[in-house]
Amino acid sequence: MNKPFVVPVKLDSICQPPSSMVLLVDRAFRALARLGVIVILVLLAALVFEIGGKAIPGIQKYGLDFITGNVWDVNQHKFGILPAIWGTLYSALIALLIGGFFGISMAIFLTQDFLPPRLAAVFRTIVELLAAIPSVVYGLWGIYVVIPAIRPLTDWLHHSFGWIPFFGTTLSGPGLLPAALVLAIMILPTIAAVSQDALSAVPLKTKQAAHGMGTTHWEAILQVIVPAASTGIFGALVLGLGRALGETMALAMLIGNSNQISLSLFSPANTLAALLALNFPEAGPNEIEVLMYAALILMLITLSVNIAGSLIMAYAKRGNKK
Amino acid sequence: MKLRIAILGSILAAAALSAPVSQAQTAKAGDGATLTLRGAGATFPAPLYKKWIAAYRKVEPTTLVEYAPVGSGDGVKRFLADSVDFGASDAAMTDDQIASAKQGTVLVPATAGLIVLAYNLPGLNGPLKLSRDTYVALLMGKIPRWNDARIQATNPGLNLPDREIVVVARQDSSGTTFALTNHLSAVSPQWRDRGPGVGKVVAWPDNAMIVRGNEGVASRIKLSVGSVGYIEYSFARYLGLPTAHLENKEGRFVAPSDVVGETTLAANLNRIPANLRVFIPDPDGAESYPIISFSWLLLKERNADPAKAAALKRFVNWGLSEGQGLSSELGYIRLPANVAELGKAALTRVQ
């Protein structure tokens, strides 16, 4: 494949051609890296194959009704996951709105000279530490801190603005809003970290040029720097959304596990991941196939979100270069 | 969750106290001396079984009993698959299931308990009283809010809040669900014919929260304001959840308690079939609480390992005698003497 390049040996030079040992290590590393890539691809293919294969009987039996149905009744063999799809998308979108807003704000705050660099580094580390907290701890925190804390507010919203569908029910405990709030905090480190990288990558010249044009600090940030970093920030949001769609443990504890489609933020709901986690432990053969089908749908949703994100980013990059 | 942690804590504590002695003994006696009996099933009697197991370690340190509370449905399944030494179910077993058990089945009633409707309504100025029609309608999801006229009718002085009613129900295949729906079908033709009917898994209202296990329902009620759900009485008592007074057959509102449970059982055990499978869907008696269930241990008639069978018989025998003394402190109902004797007699069939 690659011919080791040959350099004529000059005895008076301090340079030496790579020894055969170095070349060997080089080649071995390359092979290892290639193997790693192949293993990952094979693993992914095996996963899709395994889940898809086990889902086939379910797909044949229930077809599209599975996606559009809203009854989950093991006794009557009726399975529909529309409420779970709805809950997955609804909770992830709300989490993305909240987490995205705070994550990007935080990235701007930490990269645009609002803080002395050392302090900014400390804050950055603290935000990144959020990513190290286990999901189950977030779940418990949601149950014992978030729910009691937001209940008075939600009661007030319901009794004052109950005619707005978003506030149409009372918050009893676990429900969509507490789940989305905790989810927002969980995706915050991802969004903040990736956005920070994007913002730091904006060349200093661009910033100086903006200031030179006579913009204020905020005008420079909002009209020049953020647009220049928009591709990276968008990528951060897509990554955050992907994480929000697949999050399981905290949501299984907080979403309320209730198979309904409701616009109300205070209603208990369900998500695909929570449905899977709750139903797998004692599922019989009939149920395994529908759960595999549900897993496949979840995978398709996250995959299409990521592909759409990459496509938009690629498109935006091309647009920038023109 | 708290309950589970507390139970775990007490077991660990008990184990820590007894471990140094027993482990030293078993270590001397050699590996063959310690027998482990594995069981799985109902969550309804799980706190009592855990207590039995902890207490029994002091009686017979060489026998370790393990119990996995996975729900009655799964308990029966594992028993039939022969993957446990004993099963447990509050719905006993159906005739078909008994017939399909290759090793033969002995049903031993181990304890009994009341199924209560526990609720979470902070600041309520008194116990909630629910008539038969009301609690059927409530569990069918037909009463949207707590301050509904149908609930207020039986609770004239109560400050019922303007809150949504959220039913908390079981997701797993459950004997507690079976006992509850068996009662509801007995008192309401609508529930039986046009509603969810009887089963270990039934369809609940759309906005119901569906969770696993008695302990799951109990902790979910504890943290959800405006929720109501069905659990075994001891779980409500342990978490300090208020329980509704339910209207019995004679039209009286009865509060659940272990004493009421004993009265209810005493008034309703006129005939016990040979297989010891007794359901009391709608108990008689003016002082009786309306929803009550036995909980059974499922034992194999023919066991592969005679030493295990003997140890299991000793354990169950202990549970049916000394073990009953631990019932009322947790909120379970002591088995009537005649039932316990019938259970012990049935044990002799286990080989």
Task: Give the pLDDT confidence of B228-254 residue by residue, as tens digits.
Answer: 999 999 999 999 999 999 999 899 999
Q: How confident is the model at residue B129 (pLDDT cuts 50, 70, 90)?
A: very high
- A172 and B71: CB-CB below 8 Å? no
Count of pairs with CB atoms under 8 A, one residue in A, one in B:
72
Comparing A291-305, B3-17, B114-128, B298-312, the range with the smallest average pLDDT is B3-17
Mean pLDDT of the B154-162 span: 91
Instruction: Please indicate, yes or no, if residue B71 is contained in any of the structural domains.
Output: yes
Residue at a domain's end among B220, B236, B270: B270
Residue of A nearest to B203 (CA): A73
Instruction: Please indicate, yes or no, if residue B287 is contained in any of the structural domains.
Output: no
Residue of A nearest to B165 (CA): A172
- B164 and A76: CB-CB below 8 Å? no
Which of A147, A257, A271 to mutate: most B Cβ within 10 Å?
A: A257
Same domain for B208 and B137, yes or no, is yes
Q: What is the pLDDT of residue B6?
A: 46
Give chain B's length: 351
Shortest distance, CA A163 to any CA of chain B (angstroms): 15
d(CA B348, CA B350): 5
Report yes or no: A186 and A273 within 8 Å, Cβ to Cβ.
no
Instruction: Please indicate, yes or no, if residue B279 is contained in any of the structural domains.
Output: no
Instruction: Please indicate, yes or no, if residue B69 is contained in any of the structural domains.
Output: yes
Residue at a domain's end among B270, B303, B325: B270
> Which of A6-10, B26-30, B249-253 tops mean pLDDT?
B249-253
For B13-32, the DSSP string reads: HHHHHHHHHHHHHHHHH-GG
Contacts of A173 in chain B (CB under 8 A): 166, 220, 223-225, 227
Same domain for B128 and B245, yes or no, is yes
Same domain for B265 and B132, yes or no, is yes
Which of B78, B164, B168, B241 to mutate: most A Cβ within 10 Å?
A: B164
Report yes or no: B87 and B40 within 8 Å, Cβ to Cβ.
yes
- A173 and B212: CB-CB below 8 Å? no
pLDDT tens-digit series, residues A207-227: 899 989 999 989 999 999 999
- B227 and A256: CB-CB below 8 Å? no
Locate the domains of chain A by residue range: 63-321
pLDDT tens-digit series, residues A114-172: 889 899 899 989 988 988 999 999 999 999 999 999 999 999 999 899 888 889 888 88
Same domain for B206 and B297, yes or no, is no
Same domain for B249 and B303, yes or no, is no
Shortest distance, CA B97 to any CA of chain A (angstroms): 16
Contacts of A147 in chain B (CB under 8 A): 223
Domain A63-321 fold is: MetI-like fold (1.10.3720)
Residue span of the structural domain in which B204 resides: 115-270
Q: How confident is the model at residue B11 (pLDDT cuts 50, 70, 90)?
A: very low
Q: Using the structure block, give the residue that is written with the tokens 């969810």.
A: B196
Residue of B nearest to A158 (CA): B163
Same domain for B156 and B41, yes or no, is no
d(CA A99, CA B237): 40
CATH of the domain at B149: 3.40.190.10
pTM of the entire predicted model: 0.82
Which of B147, B171, B227 to mutate: most A Cβ within 10 Å?
A: B171
Same domain for B124 and B103, yes or no, is no
Report yes or no: B79 and B298 within 8 Å, Cβ to Cβ.
yes
Contacts of A73 in chain B (CB under 8 A): 203
- B203 and A75: CB-CB below 8 Å? yes
For A3-32, the DSSP string reads: PPP-----TT-S--PPPHHHHHHHHHHHHH
CA distances from A40 to A30, A33, A34, A45, A47 (A): 16, 11, 10, 9, 10
Shortest distance, CA B227 to any CA of chain A (angstroms): 7
Shortest distance, CA B9 to any CA of chain A (angstroms): 19
- A75 and B224: CB-CB below 8 Å? no
- B173 and A259: CB-CB below 8 Å? no
> Which residues have a Cβ under 8 Å from the Cβ of A51 and sit 6 or more positions away?
A292, A295, A296, A299
- B172 and A267: CB-CB below 8 Å? no
Same domain for B109 and B119, yes or no, is no
User: Under an 8 Å CB criterion, which residues of A touch B?
Assistant: 70-71, 73-76, 143-144, 147, 151, 159, 169-174, 256-260, 262, 267-268, 278-279, 281-282
In this complex, the residue of A71, A268, A282 whose CB is nearest that of residue B172 is A282
d(CA A301, CA A322): 32
Same domain for B74 and B153, yes or no, is no
pLDDT tens-digit series, residues A254-279: 998 888 898 999 999 999 999 998 88
Residue of B nearest to A280 (CA): B172
Mean pLDDT of the B101-121 span: 91
Q: What is the pLDDT of residue B17?
A: 39
Instruction: Please indicate, yes or no, if residue B283 is contained in any of the structural domains.
Output: no
Question: Quick check: B120 pLDDT over 80?
Answer: yes
- A174 and B162: CB-CB below 8 Å? no
Residue of B nearest to A74 (CA): B201
Same domain for B337 and B255, yes or no, is no
- A170 and B202: CB-CB below 8 Å? no
Same domain for B243 and B128, yes or no, is yes
pLDDT tens-digit series, residues A279-317: 887 777 778 889 999 999 999 999 898 888 888 888 877
Contacts of A171 in chain B (CB under 8 A): 225
Same domain for B73 and B144, yes or no, is no
Instruction: Please indicate, yes or no, if residue B341 is contained in any of the structural domains.
Output: yes
d(CA A56, CA A53): 5
A156 token code pair:
């007030």
Residue of B nearest to A173 (CA): B224
pLDDT tens-digit series, residues A76-109: 788 889 999 999 999 999 999 999 999 999 999 9
The count of structural domains within chain B is 2
Q: Using the structure block, give the residue that is written with the tokens 């055990």.
A: B269
